[in-house]
């Protein structure tokens, strides 16, 4: 089942990944990271296609994609 | 299960100073991906601009050089002509390439220098606080066009790529955007072609990349991407120009 | 009618220029003076003047050359690396005897440096900077109010002597905000007393604005004319402020933001009964040599304090001419000498 790993330390909360994910598999986390930002988190649902659109759009290269 | 998307090796895995949603992060990564794919990390030299990407050399894990504002193509000419085996690219914003550096840009192109030019067009001067750029759109409000760009006072957005395309010594010019995954992948292809051209001694190759500046456009990162798709490309059409 | 407004140094310089009748501004973004073009972008059209964001600092100074040649009060602003770009243009302005005001909000250098304040462009401003035997008048405000007030003086001096006037500030002064009493001074008309201006040669012999003298002997004669002018400026336009000089044994010399720190030290040490004073040059060219002629006594010790590694120091040494010891304390690259560092140095030199 495809999945992604998000580096929450370097996430700046720009939310481009959420904006382009076709399956709504990414959400804003409730906690804060050291930047004072709410990073995004992978919902870990079965919907992830492994399309990597999130990783392609992430300006901080925080996402690894496994398929 | 295998990893199908990784952090490129020649991009340092550190937090950048760029704003959330800034296009520089994507553009830096695409260059690193291409450098890795073409296996040129150990013979590439990047010339950094003055602008938000002034410290691009902190993020790329290969040789880099600074240049005074606008002079990157002169500096790159110096490097490339002294060491033709090095792959030299410049990474410049709209002020660097098309305002203060217009003369250096025009003449490097006219001489047909065998260089790769990555031109980040975000229609504004980010680093210094959001002033007008040569590519600022008509009506766009900036720190120095508080009432919106007026063609009678500030002229029209400059399509430098179309101007350079008229020069006989220019080999390749393409305009791309970072506004969606499909466009980002097209941008990657253009960057790869621009680098490959240099390796194959084919001459001056420039990729203009329409890039978001959420901070000085006053838009969220996603809205900024949509602004490129809906508004900016009407002024700066995508596609191969030469 | 006077109005009191809280302004940043950058804004005060811009507003002062407009009130002084400046009707042409050309500039380019560079930190830490971006507030000046941004302010001018909004204010110049209101004041029926011209604002233009040029394609580079080099272009901007040449636009000023044109505007000044046309007889209007013209200015540009930048910061250290951008001022380096303007040097050719400034030499041309001096050589063509054109008035203008150039504002330099100094930052750390050399090269791209950083955006912190510095005083490392003193040599550049006072020793030419560009090529040839020329000088610019150089004025150094230390307070936001003074930045505003000096713009009136700057434009008047420029018009009076037909030469560029440089305002030497720094990033600290540019960013800090202080109340400013503004004045609605009557604006000078566009080419008042400028018979040489290029206004179209109707009813007069054509004017030429140039700095080029090819014929044998002409350039030397022209240079002698310039030197004569500069002598007059040196005699008449020395400007400084003194504090506690009548009985001072140790005299601090500092200008601009640095003088504010030095003044704090002087105030503090005077409270403890120390005989310490301050000379604050306001004109850096012409350098206020007369202050040193007046205040150098038998036991005087001088301490020059700069955000540089010793630039104004040389002018002080020349003015003192060996008659008293001259010590130095300086930091640069964005570092600012602190009150404690100054007091430690004073302790050291006073034995």
Interface test with A, best of B9, B18, B20 (most A CBs within 10 A): B20
Query: Partners for B (CB, 8 Å, 3+ pairs)?
Result: A, C
> Per-residue pLDDT for chain C (351 aa), expressed as one digit of tens each?
678 999 999 999 999 999 999 999 999 999 999 999 999 999 999 999 999 999 999 999 999 999 999 999 999 999 999 999 999 999 999 999 999 999 999 999 999 999 999 999 999 999 989 999 999 999 999 999 999 999 999 999 999 999 999 999 999 999 999 999 997 665 554 445 799 999 888 899 999 999 999 999 999 999 999 999 999 999 999 999 999 999 999 999 999 999 999 999 999 999 999 999 999 999 999 999 999 999 999 899 999 999 999 999 999 999 999 999 999 999 999 999 999 999 999 999 987
Among B1, B21, B181, select the one facing A59 at the smallest CB separation. B21
pTM here is: 0.92
Q: Closest approach of chain B CAs to the CA of A16, in angstroms?
A: 6
CB contact under 8 A, C55 and B100: yes
Give CA–CA dist A46/B59, Å, rounded. Answer: 35
B146 interaction partners in chain C (CB closer than 8 Å) = 38, 41-42
Angle, CA B237 vertex, CA B195 and CA B140 arms, to 5°: 110
Distance CA C322, CA C326 (A): 8
Q: What is the Cα–Cα distance from B195 to B186, expressed in whole angstroms?
A: 14
Pairwise CB contact (< 8 Å): A60 & B1: no
CATH number of B24-240: 3.40.50.970
What integer pLDDT is reported at residue C351 of this predicted model? Answer: 75
B18–chain A Cβ distance below 8 A for any pair: yes
Residues 120-139 of B with CB under 8 A from C: 125, 127-129, 131-132, 134
How many cross-chain Cβ pairs, B to C, lie less than 8 Å apart? 52
Smallest CA–CA distance, residue B129 to chain C, in Å, is: 7
Which of C99, C41, C100 lies closest to C76 in space, CA to CA?
Answer: C100
ipTM associated with this complex: 0.96
Q: Give the integer Cα–Cα distance in Å for B45 and B33.
A: 15
Q: B59 CA to chain A: closest CA distance, Å?
A: 11
Domains along the sequence of chain C with CATH = 3-236 (3.40.50.970), 241-350 (3.40.50.920)
CB atoms B225 and A16 under 8 Å: yes
SS (H, E, C) chain C: CCEEEEEEHHHHHHHHHHHCCCCEEEECCCCCCCHHHHHHHHHHHHCCCEEEECCCHHHHHHHHHHHHHCCCCEEEEECHHHHHHCHHHHHHHHHCCCCEEEEEEEECCCCCCCCCECCCCHHHHHCCCCCCCCCCEEECCCCHHHHHHHHHHHHHHHHHHCCEEEEEEEHHHHHCEEEEEECCCCCCCCCCCCCCCCCCCCCCCCCCCCCCCCCCCHHHHHHHHHHHHHHHHHHHCCCEEEECCCCCCEEEECCCHHHHHHHHHHHHHHHCCCCEEEEEECEEECCCHHHHHHHCCCCCEEEEEECCCCCHHHHHHHHHCCCCCEEEEECCCCCCCCHHHHHHHHHHHHC
Per-position pLDDT tens, chain B of length 242: 899 999 999 999 999 999 999 999 999 999 999 999 999 999 999 999 999 999 999 999 999 999 999 999 999 999 999 999 999 999 999 999 999 999 999 999 999 999 999 999 999 999 999 999 999 999 999 999 999 999 999 999 999 999 999 999 999 999 999 999 999 999 999 999 999 999 999 999 999 999 999 999 999 999 999 999 999 999 999 999 99
Q: Which two three-digit tokens encode residue C326?
A: 């001259």
Interatomic CA distance for residues B4 and A49, integer angstroms: 12
Q: Which residues, 6 or more positions from A16, have their beta carbon under 8 angstroms from its beta carbon?
A: A57, A58, A59, B21, B221, B222, B225
Neighbour subunits, A (≥3 Cβ pairs < 8 A): B
Q: Which residues of C touch B127 (CB under 8 A)?
A: 31
Residue B144 is nearest to which of C53, C56, C81, comparing CB atoms? C53
Distance separating alpha carbons of residues A53 and A25, to the nearest angstrom: 11
Distance separating alpha carbons of residues C250 and C252, to the nearest angstrom:
7
**Of residues C28, C42, C112, nearest to B146 (C-beta):** C42
> Å from A36 to nearest chain B CA?
13
């Amino acid at each position: 089942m495809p999945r992604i790993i998000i580096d929450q330390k370097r996430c700046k909360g720009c939310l481009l990944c959420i904006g382009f994910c076709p399956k709504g598999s990414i959400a804003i986390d409730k906690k804060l990271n050291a930047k004072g930002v709410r990073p995004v988190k992978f919902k870990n649902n079965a919907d992830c296609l492994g399309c990597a659109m999130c990783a392609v759009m992430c300006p901080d290269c925080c996402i690894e994609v496994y398929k | 299960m295998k990893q199908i998307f990784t952090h490129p090796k020649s991009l340092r895995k550190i937090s950048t100073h760029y704003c959330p949603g800034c296009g520089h992060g994507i553009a830096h990564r695409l260059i690193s991906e291409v450098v890795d794919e073409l296996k040129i990390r150990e013979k590439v030299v990047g010339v950094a601009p003055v602008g938000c990407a002034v410290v691009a050399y902190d993020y790329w894990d290969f040789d880099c050089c600074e240049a005074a504002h606008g002079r990157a193509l002169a500096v790159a000419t110096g490097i490339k002509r002294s060491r033709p085996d090095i792959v030299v690219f410049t990474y410049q914003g709209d002020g660097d390439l098309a305002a203060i550096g217009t003369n250096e840009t025009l003449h490097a192109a006219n001489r047909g220098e065998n260089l790769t030019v990555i031109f980040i067009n975000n229609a504004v001067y980010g680093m210094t606080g959001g002033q007008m750029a040569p590519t600022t759109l008509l009506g766009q409000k900036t720190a120095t066009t508080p009432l919106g760009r007026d063609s009678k006072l500030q002229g029209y957005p400059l399509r430098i790529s179309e101007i350079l395309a008229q020069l006989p010594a220019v080999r390749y010019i393409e305009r791309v955007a970072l506004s969606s995954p499909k466009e980002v992948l097209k941008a990657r292809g253009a960057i790869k072609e621009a680098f490959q051209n240099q390796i194959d001694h084919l001459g001056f190759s420039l990729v203009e990349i329409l890039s978001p500046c959420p901070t000085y456009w006053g838009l969220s990162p996603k809205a900024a991407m949509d602004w490129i798709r809906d508004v900016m490309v009407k002024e700066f059409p995508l596609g191969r120009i030469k | 009618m006077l109005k009191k407004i809280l302004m940043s140094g950058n804004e005060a310089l811009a507003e002062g220029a407009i009130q002084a009748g400046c009707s042409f501004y050309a500039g380019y973004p560079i930190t830490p003076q971006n507030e000046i073009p941004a302010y001018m972008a909004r204010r110049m059209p209101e004041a029926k003047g011209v604002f233009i964001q040029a394609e580079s600092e080099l272009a901007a100074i040449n636009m000023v050359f044109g505007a000044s040649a046309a007889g209007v009060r013209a200015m540009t602003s930048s910061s250290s690396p951008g001022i380096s770009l303007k040097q050719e243009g400034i030499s041309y302005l001096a050589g063509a005897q054109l008035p203008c005001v150039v504002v330099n909000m100094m930052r750390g250098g050399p090269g791209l440096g950083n955006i912190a304040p510095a005083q490392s462009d003193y040599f550049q401003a006072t020793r030419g900077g560009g090529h040839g035997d020329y000088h610019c008048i150089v004025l150094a405000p230390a307070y936001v109010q003074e930045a505003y007030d000096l713009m009136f003086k700057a434009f008047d001096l420029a018009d009076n002597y037909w030469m560029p006037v440089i305002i030497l500030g720094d990033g600290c002064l540019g960013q800090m905000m202080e109340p400013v009493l503004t004045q609605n001074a009557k604006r000078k008309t566009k080419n008042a007393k400028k018979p040489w201006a290029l206004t179209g040669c109707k009813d007069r012999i054509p004017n030429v604005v140039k700095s080029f003298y090819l014929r044998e002997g002409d350039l030397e004669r022209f240079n002698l004319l310039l030197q004569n002018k500069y002598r007059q400026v040196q005699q008449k336009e020395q400007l400084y402020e003194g504090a506690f000089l009548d009985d001072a044994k140790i005299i601090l010399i500092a200008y601009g933001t640095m003088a504010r720190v030095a003044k704090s030290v002087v105030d503090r040490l005077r409270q403890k009964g120390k005989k310490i004073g301050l000379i604050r040059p306001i004109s850096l060219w012409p350098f206020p040599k007369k202050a040193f002629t007046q205040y150098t006594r038998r036991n005087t010790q001088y301490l020059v304090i700069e955000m540089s590694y010793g630039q104004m120091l040389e002018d002080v040494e020349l003015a003192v001419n060996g008659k008293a010891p001259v010590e130095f304390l300086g930091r640069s690259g964005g570092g600012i000498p602190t009150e404690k560092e100054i007091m430690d140095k004073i302790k050291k030199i006073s034995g």
